[in-house]
Amino acid sequence: MQKDFHYFATICAAHLAGFDPEESIAIGYASQFTDCCTKMLLKMADAPLSAATTQSQSELADSRIDLVALQDITRIWASFHFLPRDLTADIGKKSKLYKNKYHLICGPNGPLAVDTVNLVKGKTPEAFGMAMHVIADTWAHTYFAGTPSLVINDTTSWFYEILTEEEAARLEEEKKAMQSAKDEEADRKIETILNAHMSAKVAANAAQAARATEELNIERERIRSEEEIIRFADGQVGRKVKFNHNPMSPDDLVTGYYTNAAKRSRENSIMNLGHGRAGHLPDYSFIKYKYLPAWGNYESITKDNPHDYYNAFCQMIRAMRFLRGDIGEFRADEYDYEIALPVKDEIDTILRRRQVDASKDWKALAEKMMGCPVPDFEIRTYLDEYMEADKNDRDDTPFGRFIIAALAQKSMVTGKIYNSGNLLAGYSVDFSTKGFRGIKDFTKLVIGMENRK
């Protein structure tokens, strides 16, 4: 998911859950900040590096892939963006190495999702926002694991975007229009060159050759277009997704060209982290796609993002009502559809609109619902207050509270993974039995616990 959902949509959900506009914005801000809190940013703010909730592309590119670095990566991505659904899923007779990776596959409504919400009960809006980020991502990042793994996260070239008949026809028309505009431009250029430099005879020959080439191209395009669009046995229309590996190249929603991570055959290559091999597709609310996950034993999976994102929205409302104290217990697979009903159609329209960033639409909806302006997300909002505060008072700033929430979440998820017999996220020491050991940054949690006592 992106800023549109993690910030603006979360603000909408918080408001529907009963929070006032100021609290809703604070929750939305913390939710989006989970995608910004890198080690680089923490270093800049002189904050504990273990509170990192994400890694920038450059940090990942620079990352080593030894055991310690892999555990650090897994702690970050599994705790905040790819919360494992079932740490003990029974997958039959397979090696322990494989099972450990498989058990980290993300999905909604797992026990850890419930633990995440329970962990922040009675805490701060910053903790609520961070938890909402985690919950929302369980829906977007389903079927991928927050650890580098070829055998889990790889995808194949059998990857199709599911379209309705109307969408397929419309996109094909748009694509043809784009192509014909390009061709016309090329023709104009050729004509100019011909007029300027060639004799009449040569020009006639060249024009004849150009016509032949054009006919060939049309035929080629027709064949390619027929290959791209297929009809599945269930009647769904699929358009082949074409991936390139240039991170600077923007996704083209009309032609269906998307960017993804290059294939690397090393199990722990950073390119095999999360949904990198599926590009940004899991983060787009409008898309529905069908593909072969590496772990799926050659059975295809259809991921319906508009449907899943709506469930995420309604589950966030439910979770936040629990955090407000409106309901006594937060359980998996419960959604506040009725509360979202008045704005269901508007949300559905936003979720299904074919666009890279839906921030504008979500922002308009948030402002309409709350009746007040919603500021754009500004990363420095947290930082300035934190850096200007006295060192002893920093934990009481929004950023300080976010850091404590992040450390607690990371500690909880790492502890659960470790206690399931899986060492991929590293070692966890139970404070109640063994006292404090390990990374010093986590002393903040001990201090917090003693203060509460």
Residue 378 CB, nearest distance to other proteins (Å)?
A: 21
Please say which residue, 94 or 201, places its beta carbon nearer to other proteins.
94
Please say which residue, 102 or 362, places its beta carbon nearer to other proteins.
102
Residue 388 CB, nearest distance to other proteins (Å)?
A: 28
Please say which residue, 176 or 437, places its beta carbon nearer to other proteins.
437
- Distance between CA 83 and CA 68 in Å, rounded? 20
Please say which residue, 48 or 108, places its beta carbon nearer to other proteins.
48
Residue 27 makes CB contacts below 8 A (sequence gap 6+) with 10, 11, 14, 19, 125, 128, 129, 132, 320
Residue 436 CB, nearest distance to other proteins (Å)?
A: 6
Q: Around Cβ 236, how many Cβ atoms within 10 Å?
A: 16
Residue 57 CB, nearest distance to other proteins (Å)?
A: 4
Residue 212 makes CB contacts below 8 A (sequence gap 6+) with none
Nearest to 391 by CA among 35, 31, 45: 45
What backbone torsions phi and psi does residue 144 show, to the nearest 5 degrees? -120, 155
Please say which residue, 293 or 306, places its beta carbon nearer to other proteins.
293
Burial class (CB in 10 A: 0-12, 13-18, 19+), 152: buried
* Residues contributing to the site for other proteins (CB under 8 A): 50, 56-58, 60-62, 66-68, 71, 75, 94-95, 97-98, 101, 150-152, 154, 156, 245-248, 262, 265, 267, 292-298, 408, 410-412, 414-415, 418, 426-432, 436-440, 442, 445-446, 449
Amino acid at 152: I
- Distance between CA 48 and CA 140 in Å, rounded? 29
- Distance between CA 438 and CA 407 in Å, rounded? 13
The region that residue 110 occupies, defined by phi over 0 for left and psi between -120 and 50 for alpha, beta otherwise, is: beta
Q: Scanning the structure block, which residue is given the tokens 């609109």?
A: 353
Please say which residue, 378 or 430, places its beta carbon nearer to other proteins.
430
Residue 120 CB, nearest distance to other proteins (Å)?
A: 14
Please say which residue, 218 or 446, places its beta carbon nearer to other proteins.
446
Residue 125 CB, nearest distance to other proteins (Å)?
A: 22
Residue 245 CB, nearest distance to other proteins (Å)?
A: 8
